[in-house]
Amino acid sequence: MSVSFLVTYGTLMRTYGNLDAFGLEKSLTFLSRCQFKGELYDLGSFPGAVPGSDVVYGELFRLTSPSVWDVLDDYEGYVPNQEEASLFVRRKVSLQQPADRLAWVYWYNGDPSGHPRVPSGDWATYTDGKGT
User: What is the full per-residue pLDDT of the chain (132 aa) written as tens digits?
Assistant: 355 999 999 999 999 988 888 888 788 999 999 999 999 999 999 999 999 999 999 999 999 888 899 999 999 999 999 999 999 999 999 999 999 899 999 999 999 999 999 999 999 999 985 544
Write down the pLDDT at residue 120. Answer: 96
Map out the domains of the chain as residue ranges.
Answer: 4-126
The span from the CA of 118 to the CA of 47, in Å, is: 9
pTM of the predicted structure, to 2 decimals: 0.92
The span from the CA of 123 to the CA of 130, in Å, is: 10
User: What CATH superfamily is the domain 4-126?
Assistant: Gamma-glutamyl cyclotransferase-like (3.10.490.10)
Do the beta carbons of residue 38 and residue 53 sit within 8 Å?
no
Write down the pLDDT at residue 1. Answer: 37
Do the beta carbons of residue 28 and residue 71 sit within 8 Å?
no
